[in-house]
Amino acid sequence: MRNVSLFVRGGTVITMNPSREVVEDGAVAIEGTTIVAVGPRQELERSYAAGRSIDAGGSVVIPGLVNAHTHTFQNLYKGLGDDMPVLEWIVRMIFPLSAYLGKEEAAAGAELACLEMIRSGVTCFTDSFYVHHDREAVLGVAEAAERSGLRALIARAAIDQGDVPAAFKEPTDAAVRATEEAMREWNSRSDRVQVCPEALFTLFASPDLVAGLRDLARRHGSRFHMHAGESIVEAREIRERHGRSVFEYLDSIEALGPDVLLFHAVWCSQSDTALLAERRTSISHNPVSNQYLASGIAPLTDWLARGVTVGLGTDGAASNNTQDMFETMKSAALLQKVARLDARAVTAEQVLEMATIGGARALGLDDRIGSLEAGKRADLAVVSLEDVNALPSHKPVSSLVYTCRPSDVSHVVVDGRLVLDDGEVVTMEEREVLQRGRAVARRMVEESGTRHLLVAPRPVLIS
């Protein structure tokens, strides 16, 4: 009998392996950071003895959820961006508040976001951080992610043009240099948390900035990230400037490819989808944010039909108000059904795939995470199906997508280490994180002069 460090026994193990095997009354054996076996509980119990066991009876054991797009600092801004379209939201709320975001504030927001993601069954996320008047702020985010125990790609997102306050812009060459410096300073410290390059947004990034950051990504073997096709305003502006769609424009400046992850891509035609598929470019689909900002309904079914790699993201909590991946999964399915008037448009199985192995593939990490297989990193979540919201659970995958919520997550494991143990976050002092986040958020609202955003519009009563 082989000794292992952690043994998850019982429950339904949804592997998301290439055969999409589901093991009823299954088990997962973990040694150190790595999964060593997945299979029937009784079979594995005869082969492995563990220093620590988790009883997953009445639960599902799944690969940790991958949040393919968020902005962790925006956890400080929850509720302040209600009822605004995206460009107004940026100008009226994001820029004024973010002028007061330094390393301390960025870390406080990241801690809040990581705490919320852990409770949502997330084991890996990618963060888009674009506030650089404090050069150390992006490292504050990376440090917070490292402390949380989560796996993360922290994208240093650069802006060098557009109608943007001067504090948020950088000269093109300086932005590329600063990004490489952050990568060199941080990436040797941690295998689990890495810094990577991003050109924030098509209207805010020049072709030279895109080229410089793409080259940087290639030289360091990392992903290149970019927001693209999020709003109709952006799509029209790119068409007017360049005579092309957003994605045709990106292709013309060599900003598409298998190492590229685009966020949103809402305004994406069938010919654009064919182009993205041909270039093997990945997309993070963020359905709750797209609804919150009235950005539109992304052509998810077209992407899937064409074989585009799609992950799921919450987006920042300023355009969602949560980091809840269960809400994101449910929205991804239901929004397509109503948009297509087709109850079969997207299935629960497809949604779970996007939230796990699809997200891992979009981040270039599918050789390490995204499925429960021997040899992969031990990133998983245990989700109870025994609370009233999930009972009766006739189909576990359906239950995960349509009925489960963060409070059903009992255990989260990253790199073989428990970060949520029987409902308790063990990598962070939760009370301190909440108190610090509350104080920082209140101070930023006062200092930025955005108290008017706290006042909700008066309701109109119709008799």
pLDDT reported for residue 451: 79
The tens digit of pLDDT for each residue in 269-301 reads 999 999 999 999 999 999 999 999 999 999 999
Mean pLDDT (whole number) for 383-408: 95
* Domain range list for the chain: 2-63+372-424, 65-362
Class of domain 2-63+372-424 (CATH, top level): mainly beta
Instruction: Centre a 10 Å sphere on the Cβ of residue 319 and count the other Cβ atoms it contains.
Output: 28
| Cα 388-391-392 angle, rounded to 5 deg | 160
Assign 3-state DSSP to the chain and report helix, strand, coil percentages, each to 5: 40, 20, 35
Nearest residue to 351 (alpha-carbon basis) of 371, 372, 375, 325: 325
Through-space distance between the first and last CA atoms of the chain, rounded to whole angstroms: 74
What's residue 135's pLDDT?
A: 86
pLDDT in tens, 113-152: 999 999 999 999 999 999 998 889 999 999 999 999 999 9
Prior bond of 258 cis (ω within 30°): no
pLDDT at 459 over 80: no
Count Cα atoms within 13 angstroms, Cβ side, for 452. Answer: 5
For the stretch 179-230, pLDDT in tens is 999 999 999 999 999 999 999 999 999 999 999 999 999 999 999 999 999 9
Mean pLDDT, all residues of the chain: 96
Kindly state the tokens that stand for 395: 């189909």
Query: pLDDT value at position 449?
Result: 82
In this prediction, residue 133 carries a pLDDT of 87
pLDDT at 457: 59
| C-alpha to C-alpha distance for 263 and 282, rounded to whole angstroms | 9
d(Cα 320, Cα 353) in Å, to the nearest integer? 22
pLDDT in tens, 154-169: 999 999 999 899 999 9
In this model, does residue 462 exceed pLDDT 70? Answer: no
pLDDT value for 86: 85
Which amino acid belongs to residue 408? D
Dump pLDDT digits (tens) for 39-97.
999 999 999 999 899 999 999 999 999 999 999 999 999 999 999 888 889 989 999 99
User: In this predicted structure, what is the pLDDT of residue 98?
Assistant: 95
**What's the average model confidence in pLDDT over 245-272?**
98
Token digits of residue 160 = 């060098």
Residue by residue, DSSP assigns 242-281 as HSS-HHHHHHHTT--STTEEEEE--S--HHHHHHHHHHT-
Q: Confidence class of residue 463 from pLDDT cuts 50, 70 and 90?
A: very low
Q: Measuring CA to CA, how many Å separate 422 from each of 10, 37, 66, 382?
A: 15, 23, 21, 9
CATH annotation of 65-362: 3.20.20.140
Quick one: CA dihedral 254, 256, 259, 264, positive or negative?
positive
pLDDT at 246: 99
Residue 99, number of CB atoms within 10 A of its CB: 16
Neighbours of 342 (CB within 10 A): 11
Question: Of all helices (H) and strands (E), which one includes residue 57?
Answer: none
